[in-house]
Amino acid sequence: MRRATAEEIAARELETAAEEFSCVVERHRPQVFRFLLASTRDLDLAETLTQECFLKAHRNWGSFRGESSAMTWLMRIAINLQKDHWRNRRMQFWRLTQTNAVDLDEASEWLPSGESSVERQLLARERVGQVWRSVKGLSERQRTVFLLRYVEEQELSEIARATGLSEGTVKAHLSRALTRVRAELGGKR
């Protein structure tokens, strides 16, 4: 029986790490993309930021300590990329076009609906538009917490880890966001 050389062992370890990362991408890419799409409301920008997120994650995969879930780590990267994007003055063009990038009719089609009548579908589209307008008016932190909770359905502890905020602060931002959205929707749930 022949012993494996150091190069063969390193190659196997590299292959294993690549397969592991590939599984992480496959499992978590939809959630990261949905979060970024909900945050930016721009399909192309969300796709670009999603790719950047996984590129950064791939580059730093070896330093991932596993102290949190891979999803929490990826969301932290996505949140930072989103913040960096809006801070970057060279990308101001996107700020001007992002409000028109996703059609409200198109967004309402993404939401599951058991309603069949045309009238009910129109009402649902209008409600989706009202919610998006309300969420857009939230502060950056409130919007991030709101989207992670209600679009990505993350637990408060996961949101706290992803945002770097305490769980109490997450609850406060979520409460303020809900109060504001409900007020703008006329108290409707």
Domains in the chain and their CATH numbers?
A: 1-101 (1.10.1740.10)
Is the four-CA dihedral 141, 143, 147, 150 of positive or negative sign? positive
Cβ within 8 Å of residue 23, ≥6 positions away: none
Q: Which two tokens stand for residue 4?
A: 């494996």
Q: Which residue has the higher pLDDT, 69 or 93?
A: 69
User: Using an 8 Å Cβ cutoff, are 108 and 125 in contact?
Assistant: yes
Q: How many CB atoms lie within 10 A of CB 33?
A: 19
CA 127 to the chain's CA centroid: 22
Is residue 103 scored above 60 in pLDDT? no
Give the predicted TM-score (pTM) of the model.
Answer: 0.56
Structure tokens at 185: 């929707």
What value does the mean pLDDT take over residues 156-184?
A: 91
pLDDT tops 70 at residue 131: yes
Instruction: Give Dmax over CA atoms of the chain in angstroms.
Output: 75
Average the pLDDT over 71-92 and give the result.
80
Predicted local confidence at residue 92, as pLDDT = 54
Whole-number pLDDT of residue 98 = 46
Nearest to 72 by CA among 188, 173, 157, 186: 157
Is 27's pLDDT higher than 90? yes
Q: What is the pLDDT of residue 21?
A: 81
